[in-house]
Amino acid sequence: MLIIFGGLPGTGKTTIARELARQLGAIYVRIDSIEQAIRDSGTVNQPLNDTGYRVAYAIAEDNLRLGRTVISDSVNPIQLSRDAWIDVAHRAQVRAAEVEVICSDPQQHRQRVETRSADINGLRLPTWEEVISREYEPWGRKHIVIDTTGRSVAESVEEIRESLPK
């Protein structure tokens, strides 16, 4: 199974995706880690555009073909990237579940964005202004929505586990 996470920075998606991966023993593929490694390599002197996503698609597909559950962690802001993840699942002939993580309380969301620290060396986190002005398209199909406002990580993970296709 491919579990595809998406959501704006600061909603809690990375924390939840990691915990779900730990509980399921799943392969965890994080776009931020891939993109920062590419930047750190010094071989790219231009915007990455979809480079990190393309690398992640390939890693995910390889592991899905080995029979592993894969969790992708990214903002996944546009329908094009969401469709590409679904295509990965189809090529690997596995089920896919899409999970959008939101924080419906703007004050709580802003506080999270402004007080968090990077856990990837060299990664510059976005400002609140960058988060709210970021391109982020509505999801065009049925998916799991997790609102982290006032909820624990454990509650969010449990809701996802209960909502995953059997």
Domain boundaries, the chain: 2-163
What does CATH list as the number for 2-163? 3.40.50.300
* Cα 114 to the center of its chain, rounded Å: 19
Of 85, 82, 108, 81, the C-alpha closest to 11 is 108
Question: Is residue 47 predicted with pLDDT exceeding 90?
Answer: no
* pTM (global) more than 0.85: yes
State the Cα–Cα distance between residues 62 and 96, nearest whole angstrom.
Answer: 15
DSSP state of 138: P
State the pLDDT at residue 52.
93
Has residue 89 got a pLDDT over 90?
A: yes
pLDDT in tens, 59-88: 999 999 999 999 999 999 999 999 999 999
pLDDT of residue 43: 81
Tokens 């990237």 map to which residue?
81
Is residue 44 over pLDDT 80?
Answer: no
